């Protein structure tokens, strides 16, 4: 956090236009941190962050998560290497944004087919990122000294994926409030195409792994507020048959 | 104020990722007057989408970048003219000299069109 001496409101009260309270400050200044110091956080601090996850709300209090902390430099390097390998394999067949016309002719229809099959994994944003990773222009795990794998137990109540998100975000906010940095990384999925990583981490029924957190000391400190898109929010606050009033949130 | 509509045609068409017609990518204004060419933004860009004449993100991470002024950053662009920028502004927040502003936000078209986000960018507002 860029700790400027700014006034903060106290917790547990609201007045219109008041300063942020400490919780809001952490929420608004949290940036996904992708540049870390080499040395990991002390174990005590990691445990403190995990504790925030343990007390996250979950459907039916089923806590459908299994947490794996990876600190071993050997494993981290191997994960990075295999993720890059898989990104290169994917992009060899699918990246139509590079290379000549012939390459584009062949790979574009194939890419469009796979984008339809995996629209979330191959959305324009991760597609561009995978292309950069395959070209060796950016790393996958950002050299993070610690990864926290958030394994989901698919037998959870209602929608266990939501619970994983809540649990992880609790940890991320706790980490930032303690002066550390964290980043959600979904590309851990690349490693799971290798059976050896599935075996190693025990990712089989009833477990599934979609996301992990990179965790460490920020280098440089990059937390701070950013502008974001003004959003349209529907307010149903009239009569029962009235159409919603659409308000611009953030304007 | 109306929400964007999502038609059947939108659903059927996957946009081209490397043309401005398919992806209206983010764009940044980098003020060469204010920029001290420290390379911090290049190092922090999540996708490695910023580079300068002298350094790339991986040079800075590996420590193989030359010392001294790194050059004014630019956005990586595809051959057909779109950038990889998603206007996350990690670069601008970290910039010690306030040299970066967002010119345009990120919005794909068709299948991936954003429906409830407008193109206005605002800082958190104290309601």
Q: How close, in Å, is residue B114 to chain A by CA atoms?
A: 10
Backbone angles phi, psi at B17, to 5 degrees: -80, -10
Report chain A residues whose CB lies below 8 A from the CB of B40: 220
| CATH assignment at residue B46 | 3.30.70.20
Q: What is the pLDDT of residue A4?
A: 59
Calculate ∠ Cα A109-A113-A119, nearest 5°. 130
CB proximity B102 to A under 8 Å: yes
Confidence bin at B3 (pLDDT 50/70/90): confident
Count of beta carbons in the 10 Å neighbourhood of residue A206: 12
A30: closest chain B residue by CA: B90
- Give the residue from B46, B77, B105, B106 with the most A CB atoms within 10 Å of its CB, the best one to mutate: B46
Query: Which of A31, A98, A251 has the CB atom closest to B93's CB atom?
Result: A31
Task: Answer whether residue B73 is part of any domain.
Answer: yes
Q: Are A25 and A8 in contact (CB under 8 A)?
A: yes
Q: What is the pLDDT of residue A1?
A: 46
Give A77's contacts (C-beta < 8 A, 6+ positions apart).
Answer: none
A153, β-bridge pairs = A207
Q: Where are the beta strands (DSSP E) in chain A?
A: 65-70, 146-153, 180-185, 207-217, 228-235, 245-249
Asked if pLDDT for residue B108 goes beyond 80, the answer is yes
Cβ distance A230 to B120 less than 8 Å, yes or no, reads yes
Task: Answer whether residue B126 is part of any domain.
Answer: no
Terminal-residue alpha carbon distance, chain B: 20
A212, β-bridge pairs = A149, A185
Residue among B52, B1, B102, B14 nearest A248 (CA): B1
Helices (H) and strands (E) in chain A, counts: 8, 6
Rounded to 10 degrees, the C-alpha dihedral B81/A83/B106/B87 comes to -100
Report the alpha-carbon distance of residue A31 to residue B5 in Å, rounded. 31
Residue among A184, A176, A186 nearest A218 (CA): A176
Task: Answer whether residue B121 is part of any domain.
Answer: no
Q: What value does the mean pLDDT take over residues B103-123?
A: 93
Report the alpha-carbon distance of residue A115 to residue A127 in Å, rounded. 9
Interface confidence, given as ipTM, is 0.92
Q: What is the pLDDT of residue A6?
A: 82
R_g of chain B, CA atoms, integer Å: 17
Domain that holds residue B97: 8-108
Task: Answer whether residue B124 is part of any domain.
Answer: no
Report chain B residues whose CB lies below 8 A from the CB of A112: 14
Q: Between the CA of residue A200 and those of A59, A69, A79, A86, A153, what are the distances in Å?
A: 29, 13, 11, 18, 17
Task: Answer whether residue B97 is part of any domain.
Answer: yes
The 3-state DSSP class for residue A59 equals helix
Q: How close, in Å, is residue A228 to chain B by CA atoms?
A: 5
- Give the residue from A4, A29, A125, A220 with the most B CB atoms within 10 Å of its CB, the best one to mutate: A125
Confidence bin at B1 (pLDDT 50/70/90): low
A149's enclosing H/E stretch is: strand A146-153
Q: What value does the mean pLDDT take over residues B28-37?
A: 92
Report the alpha-carbon distance of residue A35 to residue A41 in Å, rounded. 14
Q: Which residues of chain A have pLDDT under 70?
A: 1-4
Q: How close, in Å, is residue B73 to chain A by CA atoms?
A: 15
Task: Answer whether residue B120 is part of any domain.
Answer: no
Q: What value does the mean pLDDT take over residues B23-43?
A: 92
Structural domain count, chain B: 1
Confidence bin at B60 (pLDDT 50/70/90): confident
Query: Which of A17, A127, A228 has the CB atom closest to B17's CB atom?
Result: A127
């Amino acid at each position: 956090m860029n700790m400027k001496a700014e006034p903060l409101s106290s917790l547990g009260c609201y007045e219109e236009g008041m300063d942020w309270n400490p919780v809001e400050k952490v929420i608004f200044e949290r940036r996904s941190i992708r540049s870390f110091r080499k040395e990991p956080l002390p174990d005590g601090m990691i445990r403190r962050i995990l504790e925030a996850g343990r007390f996250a709300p979950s459907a039916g209090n089923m806590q459908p998560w299994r947490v794996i902390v990876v600190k071993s430099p050997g494993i981290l390097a191997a994960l990075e290497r295999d993720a890059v390998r898989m990104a290169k394999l994917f992009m060899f067949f699918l990246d139509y944004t590079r290379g000549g016309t012939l390459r584009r002719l062949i790979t574009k229809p194939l890419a469009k087919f796979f984008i339809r099959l995996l629209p979330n994994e191959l959305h324009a944003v991760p597609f561009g990122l995978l292309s950069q990773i395959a070209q060796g222009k950016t790393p996958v795990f950002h050299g993070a000294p610690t990864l926290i794998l958030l394994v989901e137990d698919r037998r959870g109540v209602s929608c266990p994926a939501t619970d994983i998100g809540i649990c992880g975000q609790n940890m991320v906010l706790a980490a930032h409030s303690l002066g550390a940095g964290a980043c959600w990384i979904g590309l851990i999925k690349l490693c799971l195409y290798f059976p050896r990583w599935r075996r190693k981490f025990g990712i089989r029924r009833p477990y599934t792994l979609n996301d992990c957190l990179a965790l460490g000391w920020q280098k440089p400190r990059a937390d701070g507020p950013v502008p974001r898109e003004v959003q349209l929010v529907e307010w149903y606050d009239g009569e029962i048959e009235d159409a919603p009033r659409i308000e611009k949130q953030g304007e | 104020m109306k929400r964007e509509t999502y038609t059947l045609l939108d659903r059927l068409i996957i946009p081209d990722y490397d043309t401005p017609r398919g992806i209206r990518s983010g764009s940044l204004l980098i003020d060469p007057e204010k920029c001290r060419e420290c390379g911090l933004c290049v190092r922090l860009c999540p996708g490695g989408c910023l580079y300068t004449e002298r350094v790339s993100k991986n040079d800075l991470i590996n420590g193989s970048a030359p010392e001294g002024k790194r050059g004014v950053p630019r956005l990586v662009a595809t051959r057909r003219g779109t950038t990889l920028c998603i206007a996350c502004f990690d670069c601008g927040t970290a910039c010690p000299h306030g040299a970066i502003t967002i010119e345009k936000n990120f919005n794909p078209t068709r299948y991936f069109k954003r429906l409830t986000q407008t193109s206005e960018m605002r800082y958190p507002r104290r309601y």
